[in-house]
Amino acid sequence: MALKANAIVGQSGGPTAAINATLSGIIRASADSENIEKLYGMKNGIEGLIDGKIVDISYLFGDEKSLYTLESTPAAALGSCRKKLPTCGENKEIYEKILGHLKSFNIRYLFYIGGNDSMDTVKKLSEYFEANNCDISVIGVPKTIDNDLCITDHAPGYGSAAKYVATAVYEISRDSAVYTVDAVTIIELMGRDAGWLACAAALPKYYTGVGADLVYLPEVPFSSARFISDVKNELLTHPNVVVAVSEGIKHENGSYVADSMASGTIDVFGHKYLGGASRNLEALVRRKIGCKVRSVELNLPQRCASHIASKTDIDESVLVGAYAVKLATKGNTGKMVTTTRKGGDVYEISLDSVDASRVAGCVRSVPPEFINVQKNGVTRACIDYISPLILGERKIEYKNGIPVHLTIK
């Protein structure tokens, strides 16, 4: 048996309700691993690692109560960052600093939980270590509420966000239905490049008859004329029309519907900050139809409403984290964990891996077969895809009327 070495884990990118469940899975599997002595956390992802901000989180090994609470704690318990690592050619010193810190903590396994931008970090670090004959395995662990990671069937974090969206859209649809006057409620969902969360807004109507009547995704060029015509048609059959839109819907000319409200800020990965698609459509309905209309941005609760996380998502996130430990300790590097849906009537997944380089920077869109012919809703295949991901509720502990979260010091 090999001598034990240490491991380190970091979290990166936007928070989710499940990213700490993945962290818990890594803690659980590290505790059980015969290869791992101690597990460290980098504070604020790679940014903290560069600065040597490293904390020993082995104290959580075997602490079932704390780990359960961690799995119900939203956001990134280790802190996060949006740091894009330069290439080694651009800035070798950064890589040497990172390596120095890792060596001084005797770290042989590095886990990085994040989305497609974070997989770029996994790719670069693993390539650097390999090129320099360092025996350090780097494994990427997926998370994103956007579900836009390529190759994997779905990403941890999406199921909980989708469950929140489906529930909130259902509740808002009930709320919107109490008056008799014609009214349009436009609900804006996160999703810059892919409409996966807006797709989840279609679930309540499918299952209960009450919910979003129309769904618009960034995958389909948005036509204001067709939108107004769709809404008018819905108003012919019932007075309270609920519309779900992705924040990233674009006009046929490629400009964002949100654009007139956008701040113009660009993040370090070149993505535009969006906001305002629903507010612009609210103004459009007021002008073109003239009925009562309001817009609702579901906003941050989509990614942090842990109190209504999907049990399926949280359970899978723990397994995905644990699988990363298995991959690393078996000598893999530069890989990202993936989920594959097994065939058959009962939902079941298997875990596997893919080169992180194949995921980095890629975006998986909602496929055409998930979008209805009218381009204003989703198909049964889409419902069947999402439904199992939002199933189940965890028992949440409350104290003083609010959920209990875990803080990692």
CB of 206 to a second copy, least distance (A): 9
Residue number with CB closer to a second copy (47 or 355): 47
Q: Which among 78, 19, 6 is positioned nearest to 47, based on CA atoms?
A: 78
153 with 340: CB under 8 angstroms? yes
Pairwise CA distance, residues 187 & 203, whole Å: 14
Q: Which is nearer to a second copy, 298 or 356 (CB)?
A: 298
Closer Cβ to a second copy, 365 or 387, answer by number: 387
Where do we find the tokens 């529930």?
Answer: 167
- Nearest distance from residue 159's CB to a second copy, in Å? 9
| Listed residue (245, 163, 218, 216) closest to 378, CA to CA | 216
- Minimal distance in Å, beta carbon 47 to a second copy? 7
Alpha helices in 289-373 (DSSP H): 301-304, 311-329
Catalytic residue among 117, 146, 230, 315: 146
Contact positions toward a second copy, by CB under 8 A? 11, 15, 44, 47, 73-76, 79-82, 163, 166-168, 170-172, 174-180, 203-204, 207-208, 210, 296-301, 303-308, 310, 387, 390-393, 396, 398-403, 405, 407
User: Three-state DSSP class for 381?
Assistant: helix
What sign does the CA torsion over 316, 318, 322, 327 have? Answer: positive
Helix axes 116-131, 92-104, angle to 10 degrees: 80
CB of 380 to a second copy, least distance (A): 14
DSSP 256: B
Nearest distance, CB of residue 133 and a second copy, angstroms: 33
Residues 6+ apart with CB under 8 A from 225: none
User: Given the structure tokens 């996060």, which residue do they identify?
Assistant: 80
- Which helix H or strand E contains 17, and what residues bound it? none
* CB nearer a second copy, residue 276 or residue 334: 276
Location of structure tokens 């996994």: 122
355 is catalytic: no
Identity of the residue, 96 or 171, whose beta carbon is nearer to a second copy in the bound complex: 171
Catalytic amino acids? Answer: 146
